[in-house]
Amino acid sequence: MFSELSSVGGSVNGRTVSVTITGSGLATVGSAALVSTTLGPFLVAHPSQGTFVALSAICTHQGCTVTGFANDEFVCPCHGSRYTTDGTVVAGPAQTSLPQYQTQFDGAVLTFDV
């Protein structure tokens, strides 16, 4: 069983996504969220202090939006594909990792280019 990810809003400037971390559900190490933007949905994980991972939230199996999280894995609700917080497939039917974006964190705001 998995729980739905919390939703966090992101702002867009060109192809750069910005997410305010301070005061959001992503402030805690071990957290993850679905970030909604005008460029589409993204997954953001906070695996360790000062470290964030940003991924596409579109499942590589059949294009569903990945919205679940359980045992430090992202879970696709459509067919059950599971991904680590760095986007690697750990259970199919997906066979391709989620695209990952390089992140920058300034202590309050996370940014990544898509």
**Within-domain flag for 113:** no
pLDDT on residue 24: 87
Residue 114 lies in a domain: no
pTM over 0.85: yes
The answer to whether 7 and 34 are in contact (CB under 8 A) is yes
Alpha carbon distance 33, 47 (integer Å): 12
Q: What angle do CA 27, 28, 33 make, to 5 degrees?
A: 70
Residue 97 belongs to some domain of the structure = yes
| CATH number for the domain that contains residue 50 | 2.102.10.10
Domain count, the chain: 1
Tell me the residue range of the domain where 97 lies: 3-106
pLDDT digits (tens, 9 = 90+) for 99-114: 999 999 998 999 999 9
Neighbours of 67 (CB within 10 A): 20
From 2, 97, 5, 95, select the one nearest 44 (Cα to Cα): 5
CA distance between the termini of the chain:
31
- The confidence band for 22, taking pLDDT boundaries of 50, 70 and 90, is confident
- pLDDT tens column, 47-76: 999 899 999 999 999 999 999 998 899 999
pLDDT (average), residues 39-51: 95
pLDDT at 1: 57
Q: Quick check: is 33 in a domain?
A: yes
55 near 100, Cβ under 8 Å? yes
